[in-house]
Every structure is written in C-alpha cells, then in structure tokens.
Chain A
Amino acid sequence: MSLATTQSVAEIKARNKQLIDEVLKVYPEKTAKRRAKHLNVHEAGKSDCGVKSNLKSIPGVMTIRGCAYAGSKGVVWGPIKDMIHISHGPVGCGQYSWAARRNYYIGTTGIDTFVTMQFTSDFQEKDIVFGGDKKLAKIIDEIQELFPLNHGITIQSECPIGLIGDDIEAVSKVKSKEYDGKTIVPVRCEGFRGVSQSLGHHIANDAVRDWIFDKISPEAKPAFESTPYDVAIIGDYNIGGDAWSSRILLEEMGLRVIAQWSGDGSLAELEATPKAKLNVLHCYRSMNYISRHMEEKFGIPWCEYNFFGPSKIAESLRKIASFFDDKIKEGAERVIAKYQPLMDAVIAKYRPRLEGKTVMLFVGGLRPRHVIGAYEDLGMEVVGTGYEFGHNDDYQRTAQHYVKDGTLIYDDVTGYEFERFVEKIQPDLVGSGIKEKYVFQKMGVPFRQMHSWDYSGPYHGYDGFAIFARDMDMAINSPIWKKTRAPWKDAPRPSLMAAE
C-alpha cells in the first residue's frame, strides 16, 4: 500500500516538499508564511529538523495543542497519588481531564489516594466578581475534614485565577501554617499562559522546586538509608503501567528506584529525590527543568533514556549502567540477556507481519522520536513525525538520533495539514491522539492512539514491547480495513467498458 517504500529518497524529498507547498496554498498569506516555518523535509546530517517550534498556535487553524493547565494538572501533578489536586476555577477543565490520562496507581481511591477523582472549586459568577480566595481557603478546610489521609494539596489554576487577581500563594501559606506545615502547592498554570502544555510542565516543575524542595527541612531525618544505587525515574507517567514495566528492569539490574515522577508517585517520593545518585529521565520535555535544577542544586547527574523497543532499551540500560560500578554494568547485561528470548519471540512473531510498513506520528513530549526505534525493531519505517509542543532541543534530538533522511516534519500540525499529508503519503499506520483517531480511521487508515496507548499498554520496557508489537499488528492487519469500500463500488471498470 505504501508509496514510500517504492520511491528513492530523492523522490520522497521532492514529493514531501511539494506536499508542503500544496498545503500552504490553503492559508491566507500571513498564515502561510507563519506555517511554512513549521513544516520541513529532514535533511540527513543537519543538527535539527529545520522547523520553528514552541511558538504561538495560529487562531482558527485547529491546532491539536492543549494548555498550561493540561501540562500541570493533566501531566505533571495529577498522577501524584496521595495529594489532592484542586482544579481551581470553573468546572470544565477538571471534568474533561478527569481520569482521562490512565496514570495507573495503587491505592484506596478517595481514602489515601485521589488520582481518579475530580476536585474543583466549580467557580460561579460571584467567585469571578468577588474573587475566589475565601472559597479556596474553605475548600482546603473541607478537604482536611473529609479526606484526612491526604498528604498534601495542590491548587491547579484555571484561566480566571490569574485574570481576577486572586492570591492563591497567600492562601496556601496561611493554610499550610494552620495545618502544621502541610504541603500546599499553588500552581500558576492558567490555560492562557504560554503557547501549549509545555509551559504548564515548566511551571509545575518550578512549583515542585519552590514549594516542596525548598521547604524540606535540612534536619528532617531520612525516611530510608541511602545506597550507592539509588535512582529516580523522572518523566514517566505510568500510562497503562509504563513506569512499572520500566522500574522492574532498573531493579533487576541492581539499582534501587527511590522515586517515580510522577506516575504512581507520592509526595514522599518527590521529597526523597534529592537523595538519588542519578536521575533517569524519560520524558525530557516535561521534566528536564527539575532534572537540571537537581543537578545544579544537589549535584545529581541525569541521563535521558528510551525504553521503547529492545534496541533502545538495551542501549539505555547500558547508558544508565555506565554511571555505576561493574556490578550494575553486569546487571544490565544480565537483564538484556534475560529478556532476549522474549524479544526474539516477539519479533519472530510480529516482524513478518509488519516488515516495510510505514508510520506517521504526531504526539507530545518524547514520543515523536522515542517510539521510532520500537517501530524499526519491527521492521517498520517512520516517514513523518512532529511534536505537539516540542522545543528546538526536541527537534535536535530527533534529527541527531532518530529520523531518516527525507522524513516529513510538521510542528504543531493543523488538522488540515495532517489530513492532507496522510491522504497523500498513505502510511500504513498513523499514531496520534483521540482527536485524530477517528478522522484517519474514517479515511480507512489504521490508527493507534499514542498518548493513551489506545487504552492498552504498558509500552515501556521489555514487557511493554510485546504489547506494543501486538497492538501495532492488530491495528494494521485488522481485516476491517479491507472492507471500507463497498464491493459494488469496487466493481472492476473493464467489465463495464466491455458492456458498452
């Protein structure tokens, strides 16, 4: 089906360039000029993908992006399970993001953990007019009474908070004092801030720094004895259990994971992280800020890794082990060897069904690059990719380590562009989000949601790769895609001609 496989790189590049020119024609001149900077055909050897990024989305184009609140509450803070996260403002933001991100956790929900609940101040007109600080104070009191086992509270600001001049920091301080130094974290993640989810990640990271790290008493006695092998998993949201299928590998190689940020994470884990010997960072985009901070302030090195697909997993395990002694290095080799038969079996089963298939991606954080290796392990090729809210350092990493010459790159793609690109390139699979899923399936193109793993997962780690491979196979090779055209519509023309 794929056109890409039958064409030379030069032909592909020419086609992709022409495609970009074609989609730009639909825009008014000013918009075309702006969008042109976000679209490119990757040239091998370049240090980045040649696109502008992290700029404002253009009004009216149907961007796929979300907002700073989504980046803070939805991504960074929401999964911290023993804290209560108040969606502060009108009801909608908390409602639409309620339990939608599949951040798995263990706990008795509503009693000692609260991830899949929606706490909101449900702002009414009077709160906008008179301000919401008193209401917020009262909400904190009510939380303390009804949910006494919570370990802390965060205030996730929605748009109106910053516009009406509420002082949530003051409320947080007063209430924290009133409740014996309880951790109460105000987060200024109003949705209009910045250009996408990305600033919300940054603001959330800064809130951890200012309202958790900076408040840890130097005299606080350690909750556990440190070991030379203590690491923290940073930037894994445990979607469908991703952090668990990652943690198990780190532990098997002899490391001790003292914290998960933030999937299945707890306040105690956040507080313990400055004791780590190494921070291992999966989602660079959303948590590089706090990793850099810990490096500067506590001298903790950090190392990016990629747990999608056996090639990248092995590479990453060795990279992580390189920070430690021979015991850990041997541990890494032992883990790689242990899972080799499983990986061989998975690849033997699925690669023949997927070899040569092409994929187009459009996702958030790290996935537009990180999953490429996993597809390649299955013999598949990523022919187009782009970031919803990436920055230039994401595109650098993509260019230098992941994409092939001629790959179509689209930053903050619009609905229109994405449809046209897929229509023309005809990949065998599109990997993107819920808003895109049904668009492409209607077009008859197999699709997997690559934010939520389409309600499957985990996809991280060796255990996750088996699921990933199975899912890609069932998407692409589902018999349903052969039935999208009614058979009478496919009636061969020659016979009609003959009848004439």
Chain B
Amino acid sequence: MTQNAEHVLDHFELFRGPEYQQMLANKKALFENPQDPAEVERIREWAKTPEYREKNFAREALTVNPAKACQPLGAVFVAVGFEGTLPFVHGSQGCVAYYRSHLSRHFKEPSSCVSSSMTEDAAVFGGLNNMIDGLANTYNMYKPKMIAVSTTCMAEVIGDDLNAFIKTAKEKGSVPNEYDVPFAHTPAFVGSHVTGYDNALKGILEHFWDGKAGTAPKLARKENGKVNFIGGFDGYTVGNIREIKRIFELMGIEYTILADNSDVFDTPTDGEFRMYDGGTTLEDAANAIHAKATISMQQYCTEKTLPFIEGHGHEVAAFNHPVGVSATDDFLMTLSRITGKPIAKALEQERGRLVDAMADSSAHIHGKKFAIYGDPDLCYGLAAFLLELGAEPTHVLSTNGSKAWAEKMEALFASSPFGKNCHAYPGKDLWHMRSLLFTEPVDFLIGNTYGKYLERDTGTPLIRIGFPVFDRHHHHRYPVWGYQGGMNVLVKILDKIFDEIDKNTNVPAKTDYSFDIIR
C-alpha cells in the first residue's frame, strides 16, 4: 500500500508507487489498443523534423493550441474597470462561466459577470426577453452603478440588436431611463480578446461622450489639460496600473485611468467580499472627453478606440506594451511633451538603476536566443527589451497578430544588429511554435502558462510572462511597465537563466566544478 496517514501522498507521488504502475501498465497493454511504442517513438521524432515543420506550416484550416481568446473576455475585462460596473454578456450562459473562470484562475480573485442565459427559444425568436428580464434582475440584485453589455457569438449569429434591445428594456422598466447601459457588439468570430477590449472601451466612451445612445445631449469638449491613460488587455493590470499612477503622480500630471481594474482584481481578504472595488468613476469616464490627450499603452488593443478619441480632438499616442529602458524613455518623454511637465528626478534615478542592473547582468543575457509568444503588443515590448539587452528574440509569434503587426516587428528587428536573424509569425499557434523550437532551437521561451507544454516537449526553459498565468501565483501584482517594471522583467529572465546554469552543473564529480557560488 502506497498511501499513508502520517505523510499523505499527493497525486504526483501516489501514482508512482509500484501497485499503480503495474495497474496502469496492464490497463494499457490489455485494453487501450495502444500504438506500437516504436511507432510512437518514430512519430515523436518525425514531429521534430523540418519536413514536419513544413507540413505544419502548410496548415490552412486547423488551429492547434492558439494563444488567443475571444472578444467578450476583453469586454468583461474592460467593464469591471469602471466603478460599480457589472458586465452583462448577452447570449449563451456557458460563455460567462468560462470568462469568469478564466479571469479567476489568472488573478486568483473573484470575477463577477452575468449572462442573459439565451437558449433554444431565444435562438429562434431572438433574445429580447432575455435582455428585458436580465437587466431588471441584474439591476435589482447586484445594484450596479452601470451595466456594460457585450455579446457572445450566439447573439451575434442571430443578429440581436443591442441598441434597440436596451432601449426596449428601458421602456419596459427593466432599469431607469437615465441609467447607464453602454454596449458593444463583440462577436467571437472576429479578432480576439484584444478586439473585445477595444470594442467595449469604445462602446463605453461613446455612451458617455456621444449622447448615451440618443438619450442625452452629446458632451461638448472643454479641454482641461488632463491625460487619459488606457492600459489595454493586460495580465499585469494590477501591478502596472498602480505603477503608472505612481509615475503620473511623481510627475505631477493630472490623469484619468480608463477602465482601471487594478483594484477589483486585487481586493483584500478582510471578511468582506467586494463585488465592485475601485474603477474609473462614471463621472471621470464622461469627463475624460475634456482631456488634452489620451495615451494607449497597447496599440493593438485600441485600434478603434484611439481614432474615436482622436476624432474628439485629443492628441493621442499609442505604445506597444513598453518594457525596458528606451520604450519607457519614449513613454515618459511623450508624457512630458504633452503635459509640459519635466520627467521627475526620481524617475531619472530609477532609469539609472535599471541601466545599472542591465549593465551588471548583461553578460548573462547577451547573445542568448529567445522565442516569445503572446498578444501583439506584449510581444513587441518584450522583443524590444531583449534587443536592448543584446539578446536575440529569434521567434516572435502572435496568434492574434496581424500582417501589419508582423511588419512592425520586422522593422524593429531591422533596427538592431541583434535582430538580424529574428522573425515574426503572425496568426500562428503554439503547435507552429513547437516546430520552430525543434528546428531552430533557442535558449529560452517567453510566454504564458501554456508554454509549459512546449517546455516539456522541446526542453526550452519557459519564462512565464503573459496571460494567462495559471500555474504560478501573484505575478500579476508586479508591474512590467516603467523602469521598475523593466527591473522585474529583467530579474525574472535572469532567475531562469541562473536556475538553468545551476541545473546544468549540479552533478557531483561530473559537472559541479561549474556549480559556482558567485555568478
């Protein structure tokens, strides 16, 4: 018997016991109709070859292990960034269970969101009644200050019209007439979660700025010199937005963070569950129209929102998830230029410290090859940082990256001698990445939790940066933006590099002469 009460064995130890091993071997041999082990080995090796890579890259229809999610996830992420706001997703209810689980697994936080629970009859007759009842129930039960509506693909396929439905629901008394119910159509078969972020944010700003779907006068802009900030879909939103606020405050800039979900995804455990916490106030969301300028930290999360804002007279600037020295320099100089405020001395010192740290450690990173995958902006930001560390971002892959993104990546590679052998892969998935790692190996892989399968199969050590990160805790609390954020990314990369060196030099009397105490 393997199990014992004194030292309870977990699944990772329990099943290695001889009784279980024998049982599993018998199961396989007798009942599973297993493939011939030699054949498994042959295919396993074949799947590593350039020939397999070619077939793999010739795929036109099948997607395997994509690194993207669907639009409504981004819409939910935006909605909870507004004060007292409950996301309401119109369509099938299972989707909402999925978004909530997904966000909770990453942030280790509650994730509140409701569905209009459409079923077969709604598929035939449309989901108007679901909207009418759903808004009334949500309003009464959860007392939100605002309900932000988006859609699942079911509602999109049958063509439900949110504007008309919400209007009718208000007429039927589901919520008061003047109550804020911004909306965005977020079809899952267009774009990805970053598109949903974009659509939902635009929907909310449009609601407040452009007359609340014809129920209020449009706001007239009176410039007030403030700066709006948009983070984009970001797994590090908790750490990043707090870091950005600190930077704004150091520079004495008046600002509005739009869709500030840094508190709702980081509520204290003190005996009280806060369904809502923090967030951009509705007043601030409306008044954001008066700002001088709007900055988006992620270009590809705001492809529609930013032009919309620009159309209201703002100066706009978009970055690509800036990480490291130069990207942060650009960000701060843009802020300074727009506001006329000098870059704070304290930030200059932080810059110096990041440069200092990079100089101290550069020898360990210089010339190392990396593969990166993730959302398009994150990929860009990380690749740029690696280039300034003298590393080579050899494969940069973004399932939701466009051709335009790939061109931008190639231009980045061309700007650095370290980018010479680097390539961008738009619209590809992690099964493509697997072929890349086998046929053109790199030293390290940067990506989300799902990269662990690539690490297992190809032996490329994984540095977890991205979304989602399910299997490591609390990384989202640490910023990756600003010079301090750059420091966090640097340390994360270095820790993995040193762990690997130690792992490769720890065999007594064989390799441990290099098991150095000082590195």
- Complex partner residue of A90 from B31, B52, B60, B70, CB under 8 angstroms: B70
Q: Contact: B31 with A414, CB < 8 Å?
A: no
Binds A, one of B102-110, B281-289, B359-367: B102-110
Shortest distance in angstroms between B54's beta carbon and chain A's nearest beta carbon?
A: 11
Which of A108, A138, A414 has the largest number of chain B CB atoms within 10 A?
A108
Q: Any chain B CB within 8 A of the CB of A112?
A: yes
User: Which residue from B65, B112, B271 sits with its C-beta under 8 Å from A484?
Assistant: B271
Q: What mask results when residues 58 to 70 of chain B are scored 1 for a CB within 8 Å of chain A, else 0?
A: 0111111110111
B166 at the interface (CB under 8 A from A): no
* A116 surroundings in chain B (CB, below 8 A): 453
Are A121 and B40 in contact, with the CB atoms below 8 A?
no
**With A59-B134, A63-B115, A439-B273 given, is the CB distance from A95 to B68 under 8 Å?**
yes
A259 to B31, CA, bound (A): 7
Q: Are A443 and B112 in contact (CB under 8 A)?
A: no
Stretch at the interface among B13-21, B303-311, B344-352: B13-21
A55 to B203, CA, bound (A): 34
Q: Which of A117, A194, A348, A485 is packed against the most chain B CB atoms within 10 Å?
A: A117
- Give B79-118 as 1s and 0s: 1 = Cβ < 8 Å from A's Cβ atoms: 0000000001001111101111110110011111111111
CB distance from A267 to the nearest CB of B (A): 7
Whether B238 sits at the interface, judged by CB under 8 Å, is no
Please tell me if A297 contacts chain B, counting CB pairs below 8 Å: no
- Say if the beta carbon of B259 comes within 8 Å of chain A: no
Alpha-carbon distance A136/B60, docked complex (angstroms): 11
Nearest Cβ in chain B — how far from A163, in angstroms? Answer: 5
Q: Which of B185-193, B323-331, B335-343, B475-483 contacts the other chain?
A: B185-193
Contact flag A272-B31 (CB < 8 Å), given A62-B114, A193-B119: yes
Q: Give the size of the chain B interface in residues (CB under 8 angstroms).
A: 109
- Other-chain contact of B10, A110, A467, A469 (Cβ < 8 Å): A467
**Interface residue from A70, A120, A128, A348 paired with B63 (Cβ < 8 Å):** A120
Q: A57-B117, A272-B31 are in contact. Are A434 and B154 (CB under 8 A)?
A: no
* Residues of chain A contacted by B378 (CB below 8 angstroms): none
| A443-B110 Cα distance, complex, nearest whole Å | 11
Complex contacts, B453 vs chain A, CB 8 Å: 109, 116-117
**Which A residues are in CB contact (< 8 Å) with B100?**
435
Report the nearest A residue to B73, measured CB to CB. Answer: A92
Instruction: Tell me if A318 counts as interface (CB < 8 A to partner B).
Output: no
How far does the alpha carbon of A148 sit from the alpha carbon of B43 in the complex, in Å?
A: 8
Contact yes or no, A463 B271, CB < 8 A:
no
Partner of A63 from B93, B111, B136 at Cβ < 8 Å: B93
Q: How far is the CA of A439 from the CA of B272 in the complex (A)?
A: 9
Docked complex Cα distance between A67 and B97 (Å): 9
The distance in angstroms between the C-alpha atoms of A142 and B431, with both chains bound, is: 13
Question: Which residues does chain A contribute within 8 Å of B68, judged by CB atoms?
Answer: 91, 95
Q: How far, in angstroms, from A129 to B202 measured CA to CA in the complex?
A: 26
Does B168 lie at the interface of the complex (its beta carbon under 8 Å from any beta carbon of A)? no
Query: Quick check: B11 and A458 within 8 Å, CB to CB?
Result: yes
When chains A and B are docked, how far (Å) is the Cα of A435 from the Cα of B197? Answer: 22
In the complex, the 6 A-B pairs of residues with the closest C-beta atoms, listed nearest first? A67-B94, A92-B70, A59-B134, A60-B134, A268-B33, A96-B98
Residues of B within 8 A of A (CB): 1-6, 8-11, 14-15, 19-20, 23-24, 27-28, 30-35, 39-40, 43-44, 47, 52, 55-56, 59-66, 68-73, 88, 91-95, 97-102, 104-105, 108-120, 122-123, 130-131, 133-138, 140-142, 152-154, 157-158, 187-190, 192, 267-274, 431, 434, 450, 453, 457
Chain A residues near B (Cβ < 8 Å): 26-28, 30-31, 56-70, 82, 89-93, 95-100, 104, 106, 108-112, 116-125, 127-128, 135-136, 138-139, 142-143, 145-146, 148-149, 151, 158-160, 162-164, 191-195, 197, 223-224, 240-241, 244-245, 247-248, 251, 257-260, 264, 266-269, 272, 338-339, 342, 345-346, 348-349, 414-416, 419, 433-435, 437-444, 456-458, 462-463, 466-467, 469-470, 484-486
